[in-house]
Each structure stands twice: as structure tokens, then as C-alpha cells.
Structure 1
Amino acid sequence: MAGLLAASSLSCGASAEEGPTTAGSSVSDAREAIVSGPAFPRTATYYLDQDRLPPVEELARYDLVVVDHEWEHRVPRSYFDDLRARNPRLLLLAYVNLVDRPDGLGTPEYWTGRYDLWRFDSGGGSTFPREWLATTASGRTVSEWYGSTMTNLTDVAPRVADVTYAEYAAEWVADSVWSAGIWDGILLDVWSDRIYTADASAWDIDGDGDDEPDSEIYGPDGPWDRGLSLAEKRMRELMPDALLVANGARSPLGGSLDGSAWESFADPLGDREPRVDVDSYLRTSSDPSERKPGVWVTIDRLGWGTSRSETYRRARFFLTATLLQDGYWAPMLLHYGSAAYYDEMDGAGLGRGYLGRPLEDGVRNLEPDRNVYRRDFEYGTVLVNVGDRTEQVRLERKYRHLQGVQDPDTNNGSITDEIVLPPQDGIVLLRLDVQGSSPPSDR
């Protein structure tokens, strides 16, 4: 999981700057902001660097921004006020990891939130109950990420002060993160139906001295699932207006959560199967039983050392696949402290939301070949090839390629009514019949 990439600098320390305590803007209108705007493409950044935040103008160009909850304590409140002033429709989510308790932290001034959550003291000790950690019957702690211990989020975890860890964690999010008044919601990392990366396949979930196997921990209506549901329900009770997004394979989203994030979305270099990820994204985000409006975030790292042309192909594929539904695409470079931006995100200078609104609710397949998907918008169309062979598509009218600066071989401004799409590639085309008035920027 990406979550603890943010903890790779746990040893650093810094002093926080003080700022005013009033929120920069109301965050209760976040759901309306999703419905009424922005237009498409919808872009995001998953920025988890612990040493610095980018300049406000860099974050403001995205529609959705995820940053660590600790930044509330590290920068003046005016930073967030300025961010919202520059982009009033921006959605700001606080990154929170309730699963991985770090073995150590830096200075309490720099890690204010984590010191509180994990009950560290200034001397490096912690009063966090061992009963709330995942341990085997022999007393060995369970870890799913280096330098950390996994927590026991099951509903049968031993109670301390008459609460389980799931209840404590949910109330901490509401009392210590959401209460700041600067966030539109919470991004819950490692929030999955099953923790596949745990270094134990059996552990003592209820403190009775016997280890339960994974088959008795995970699964629908199992102790882990019920514990997550308990925490989600409590967070929703305490934060009715918050957007709650799970970064993990969490299936029962029809209740308290608002959506999901997909890391390394459809990326073979990230050990993902493109067709499987795209189908999962389309199925989940279009499920009528899900909480509306949904928040769906796809995250990809583009700095894998491929050629420049290959990087642009990958970027086109990930973004256009995301455009098949109403998700937000977050491109990063090698790590989650290096945001990226590509021609297709603002039409190579046409402006944010240059495609306008979709003309149809969701994706459609181009028959007879189901490897090519299409979605039409007010000012253009998007085509995606999720298959493993080149496809040729004849269009019903002429369209114009973007006039780009990054990949002139593809985004060259030419007019065409036929597209040749290589495997795992996509294309954004502009309609000619609406080009007399340019697509409005920042819709």
C-alpha cells in the first residue's frame, strides 16, 4: 500500500507555524461541488511528501487534492485559505492511516496528529494499548508495512475503556482531524476488506490466546469487515457532511463511504492488469447502490524510466480510462511527493474542464470489438483501447487532435475521422462543430 510512503521521513523534525483558527471556506458544500463541477477532465494529486507542500498555485490547478492531515499543524491556515481562493471548487481530503502504527516518530511539534492518535509522549514512549495491536497468541506483533505494527480493527478486538480500537479511531478522526474545519473529507489509507501484505496469516483477534486464520478474520460479515463497518458508521454519524474515501479494496461502499481510490490504476508496471482494473472501476463507480455523488480517484506513477513517448502513451491511457466514468485522475512521478501534469489534463492550454460535461451517463463499448471504449462530451470525445492489439476506429464525423507541447506526434492539431489506437492507449479529440466558441476554461 502507498500509505506509509508518507512515513519514510518519520525521523525528521521541524517547527510548525501558527495561523488563525477559522476555516478558509465552508466545507459542507463538497457534495454539491461534485455535482455542479468541475467539468472534465477531473484531475487530482495524491501529494504525501512530509517535508514540504508545493506552492499554492501548483495545488490549485487540480480539482481534488490529498495531503497528509499533519499539514494542518505545520503551515499557517492562510495557506488553505489561499488554496480555496484560487480554486473555490477544489476538494481537499486529509490523508489518514489508521492501520499502521509507526514504531517511532520525529518531534511532537512536527507529528502533532500522530502523537495524539498513537499516544506517544515527548520521551519517545507510548501509552497506546497493546490490546489494540494485531498480535499472535505468542505475543509477536503483526506488520503489513516496514517500521510499523498493524492495528486490530476487528469488532471483537479487546475493549479498552469500554471501546474497541475501531470506535476509538473513528472518534479520533472526527475530533482531531475533521474538527479543524479545513477539509472536505478524509482519505482512509489501507482501508481494505483484507490485508494481503500482513506478515502473519493467523493472529489472535480477540485476545483469547488462540490464533484465528485469515479465513476466519476476513470476508463478508467477518470480524474485520464488521470492524471497518463499525468505524465507517461512527465516522458518518460524527461527520455527516464529510467525504469518506477508501484507498483500498473495500467492497461494501453502499453504506457510509463515498468512494474509492485505485493505486497504480491499470498499470502493468505496477503489477496491475489493465482490463481488470478498468472493469472494476467502471463497475464500482457506476453501481446505482453506491452513495451519491461518488468520489473515485485513480492514481498512477509515470516516472518508471520508460521513454518519453511511452510515458505520454501511459498518461493518455490512464487519464482516458478514468474519463470513462466521473473519476479524478492523479498522476505522480516516481513517488507521492512529485506531482505531474500532462497536455490532456487542460487541453494543452485550453483550460480546466475543456471537455465540458458528458453527453451520456457512462461508457459505451464500440461493437463488435469490446476492447475499445468511448465516451462523448460537450466539446469532444474520448476513446480507449484496453486490449492487447491495435484497433482501428472509424468516427461518424471529423474531430481535431489537441495541439500539444509534450507529444506532438499525437497531439498535433490535425483533423481526422479515423483513429488507430495501439494496445493500452487512449486519445482525446475535440469536436469541430463547437470550435467556433472555444471550450470554456475552469468550468
Structure 2
Amino acid sequence: MVKRTSLIVMTVITIMIATAAVYFTVRTTRPKTSQTSTLAPPVYSPLFNLNERLGRHPYPRLFVQLQHYAPSEEMINEAANWDLLVLDAEVILNRPEFLGSNGTILQINPHAVVLSYFSSSDVLPGHRETTTINGIFISGLDDGWYMKDVNGSRYLLLQLPDGNWSEMLNLTTEVNFYMADYLNKAVISTGLTDGIFYDWVMENISWLNYRTNNPNAPLDINNDGLADLDDKLNSLWKNGTKTLLNNSRNIFPSGTLVVGNGGTIFDNTYKNVLNGRMLEGFLEGEAWGFGWLEVMRGHYLMHLVSVEPKVSLIMANGHQNDFKKMRFALASTLMFDGYFCYTNYGAYQATWWYDEYSVDISTGAAVKSLKYKGYLGSPLSEAYNVDDRDEFLGISLISGEAAVEEKVWRRDFKNGIVLVNPSNSEKVVELNGEYKKIKGIYDPFFNDGRILSRIVLEPKSGVVLLRAWNNQTQKSF
């Protein structure tokens, strides 16, 4: 294992340094085509290919993001229970033994999918002059590829805990090719990941000029020394981002996943270039008008225009024992076909498990085990209004009807149902049959195993119920 790890690290560093050196010396012109990677074909060939692994992801579908450059073995052993993992790109260098078909993750969970996190829009000053994936990327950047303000100063995007700021990249420049080509060589070509998870994939950046703690003068996206109007800023930014994503699709091997994160209110700007988006901070913007309708509408619309295989993600943040908030976000996610994560605020490092994640359907008891994931089975319906079976949530979201938030929505699965009440009032729901609550081990007060024919849903809540007749043997994961 030591020899294998050392060989991988040295190979990746060699490729990254060579790639950055080429760009550092020949940055004034863009190559007409992507250069072929000098890496040998991937050493690893997973037992199941990517599409097979994605096809085996059950309901509820779960993902976890770990913001850690070198996660511990204990952390990875826990995270491997999730269907999809978002790990920092630096893990390829720092802990390659976790990755690939011989790595810890797929040995524990042969259906797991791994995405490598990389920011599309900024770089951290702490990576400079290091032989990290980010550091060598920075060494190949031209000064003209950074975003500038009207004074010609580099634009500062995100203030870090130590008081320093990240520096923003200008995706309307040649960096939109360099980044995709660099990641193909330094990350994708190792064969240790299934795709790239780009952070800061935004529809607009004009809001940056209105920050109360803005350390810069107004943005100057085209470097003409003049402040740009909001519409111009956003239009040029979207075109630059789309170019980055298209370049990634063209340069990465066919079938590589390209997923983005950023924003809450989505449109079709990135249609047919992403496999999906992550909706981060579920309902954290509610006080500013980004309520359940707007958030779920954005999630659904982006899912519709994503390319196959689709990987739509919803992340909710909170405290570990806020079970109601977790269930509300999970039930909302289960109205469609996305992946769900409930994690901490700040740097994401939580691997919290909940009753609703895995259940032995023969007993109705929650069990933390890969064997009992996917207990809901396949969906039998689209999400519909409990008072009108012919009214579907997706259609109502597209139309943007405000009444969407006042109704209870239900989706039927082979082995259970999911209900969500996004309203501010308590709702009594007739179940039209007998269902039972999960027998919980984390939240036994709510998940008490009772059989119900009706249920009272609190405001902004959700629930997973099992069919009362479930007694079949569950298939092994």
C-alpha cells in the first residue's frame, strides 16, 4: 500500500508540475485542442462502472461533502456509507489509498461515486508556492486571468477565517480553458475520481458590488477601467462560466461527471452542460424571500435541464439533533430524484446518520447498515397534492403558484410514502390506508413505530412512512 500510494502521489505531482510549466511559459495563446495526458490509462477498474453504480443508488439517495484536504481513515470509513461523496481534489494527492477500486471507499461500498471538489472562481493565497493540486494550478495562472476592479486591483471574493481573502478568477479569460485542461491532467486522468464538483457556479456576480464589507472598488470584468452595469457583468460572467463547463465536457473523458454548486434561484443558463447542481443551505435564505417555493422550483428546473446521468443535490445545514429540520429537508428532496445531505454549518465535516437513512423493512426498525439502505424501493408516482391526486408538484413549481407552499405533497414508493408540509400551519392528512412510522434509534420519540391511517403534520415538516404490510426479506446491498 505504501509503494502504491507513493507512486500515485509522485505521478500526479509530476503531471501537475509539467502542466503548470507549459501554461506558465506559453500562456499568451490558447492551444486549439486539449493536450493528451501523459498519464498511463487508469490503474483502477471498479467492479461496477459509473452508470451501474449510479443506477444502484436507492431511495433515499444520500451524499456527503467533506471539506478536508486529508480526511482521516475513521472519517472516510463513515462517509463510505453514503451513495455519493464530494471530497476535496487534494485528497487525490494526500490520501489516494481511499480512492479507486482498491481504495477504502469502494471496498466498503462498491456502489459509491466520488466527485472531486475544485473552486471554479477563486484561489486561496495559502496554496501559493506549494506542490499541492491547487498550488501548482496557481503557479500556472497569468495575472490577466484574475478578476480586477476599476483600479486594476485583484478582486477579493471570500474572506477566510484567518482574515485573508480568496482572489477571484475572471472566467471570461483563457482561465476557462486552462482550468479544465489542468484538472483533466491533474485529477481526472488519475482514474481516482468520477468527476469534478465545481464550486461557485453562479448565474450572476453583480451582487458582489453591493456587499457591505466589500474590500474592492467596483468590478471591471472586461478590464477597460470602467465600472460595468449589472446586466453586462452577469451576461459576460455566465458566458465565461458556460465556456468553462463546455471546455470541461470537451476535454474530460466521455462520461465524466461535471456538477456545480452556487446560487439558489436557478434558470436554464447551464442547460445541457452540467449533470446537476447542488442547492446549498436549504431554506437558509428564507428571511430574504428565498422560501420553499423558490428553492424547490430552482432545484426542479435545474434537474430538468441537466444532462444524463443526472446528479442533483440538496444540502441542508443545522445541528445534529434538529431532527425536524432534517426530516423536512429530506422529505422535500424525496419529492424528486435528488441526493440529500444534512450537515453542520461552517467547514463541512459531519457524517451524521439518521433513522430515515436505512431501515430493515421486515421489522420497520432503523438500522445503520448499507444492507438496509434503499428501503423505500422505487418511486411509484410523481409528487402530488394529497387533496388532488391529479395535481403534481413539478407542474405547480414550474408555474410558480404561490399556493404550492400551502399544500401537503406526497410521493409513493414501493415500500412506503413520503409527505411534506411546507406551509406555516398544521395539517391533518388522511393516508388512505395503514402506514407505520419507522422504529427509530436516533429519534425514537418521533419515530415510534406506530401504525397510522391519518397523521398530523407540523408546519414546515416532513415524514417517511412505511407500508404496514411490509414483511418481505430485504435484498442485500
TM-score range, shorter chain: 0.7 to 0.9
Q: Percent of aligned positions with the same letter in both sequences?
A: 26
Report the CA distance between 1:267 and its aligned residue.
4.1
Contact 1:381 1:428 in 2 (8 A): yes
Q: 1:237 aligns with which of 223, 228, 250?
A: 250
Secondary structure of the equivalent of 2:105? Answer: helix
1:53 pairs with 2:72: yes
Q: For residue 351 of structure 2, what is the aligned residue in structure 1?
A: 339
Q: Distance in 2 between matches of 1:183 and 1:270?
A: 37
TM-score by length of 1: 0.83
Secondary structure of the equivalent of 2:156? Answer: coil
1:292 pairs with 2:308: yes
Unaligned runs of 5+ in 2: 12-41, 160-164, 360-365, 389-402
Secondary structure of the equivalent of 1:355? Answer: coil
- What amino acid does structure 1 have at the position aligned with 2:349? G
Contact 1:259 1:294 in 2 (8 A): yes
Q: For residue 266 of structure 1, what is the aligned residue in structure 2?
A: 283
1:328 pairs with 2:339: yes
Flag the 1:235–1:37 CA change in 2: closer, same or farther, 3 A.
same
Matches within 5 A, 1:335-414: 335=346, 336-347=348-359, 348-349=366-367, 351-360=372-381, 362-367=382-387, 370=404, 371-414=407-450
Q: For residue 437 of structure 1, what is the aligned residue in structure 2?
A: 472
Q: For residue 98 of structure 1, what is the aligned residue in structure 2?
A: 120
Unaligned runs of 5+ in 1: 1-15, 120-126, 158-163
Report the CA distance between 1:27 and its aligned residue.
9.7
TM-score by length of 2: 0.77
- What amino acid does structure 2 have at the position aligned with 1:339? T
Q: For residue 189 of structure 1, what is the aligned residue in structure 2?
A: 199
- What amino acid does structure 1 have at the position aligned with 2:472? S
1:283 pairs with 2:301: yes
Q: 1:153 aligns with which of 131, 148, 171?
A: 171
Contact 1:385 1:421 in 2 (8 A): yes
- Higher relative CO (Cα under 8 Å, sequence separation at least 6) belongs to 1
1:130 pairs with 2:149: no
Report the CA distance between 1:256 and its aligned residue.
1.6
Q: 1:89 aligns with which of 100, 111, 133?
A: 111
1:203 pairs with 2:219: yes
Q: For residue 143 of structure 1, what is the aligned residue in structure 2?
A: 156
Flag the 1:340–1:19 CA change in 2: closer, same or farther, 3 A.
farther
Q: Distance in 1 between matches of 2:458 and 2:219?
A: 47
Contact 2:197 2:261 in 1 (8 A): yes
Q: 2:59 aligns with which of 36, 40, 51?
A: 40
Q: Deviations over 1:386-408 (max 9, x none)?
A: 11111110011100100001222
- What amino acid does structure 2 have at the position aligned with 1:274? W
User: Mean Cα displacement is larger for which, 208-217 or 403-412?
Assistant: 208-217
Flag the 1:257–1:328 CA change in 2: closer, same or farther, 3 A.
same
Flag the 1:414–1:78 CA change in 2: closer, same or farther, 3 A.
closer
Q: Deviations over 1:201-234 (max 9, x none)?
A: 842222333332332110xxx2111111111111
- What amino acid does structure 1 have at the position aligned with 2:143? R
Q: Distance in 2 between matches of 1:78 and 1:281?
A: 31
Q: Deviations over 1:139-187 (max 9, x none)?
A: 2221220121111112xx3xxxxxx111111211212111111111111
Flag the 1:206–1:107 CA change in 2: closer, same or farther, 3 A.
closer
Report the CA distance between 1:69 and its aligned residue.
0.3
User: Number of matched residues?
Assistant: 397
Contact 1:18 1:76 in 2 (8 A): no
Q: 2:323 aligns with which of 303, 312, 316?
A: 312
Contact 1:131 1:207 in 2 (8 A): no
Q: Deviations over 1:272-314 (max 9, x none)?
A: 52332123223332x2x4312310111122228xxx4xx0101
Q: CA RMSD in A?
A: 2.5
Q: Distance in 2 between matches of 1:245 and 1:342?
A: 26
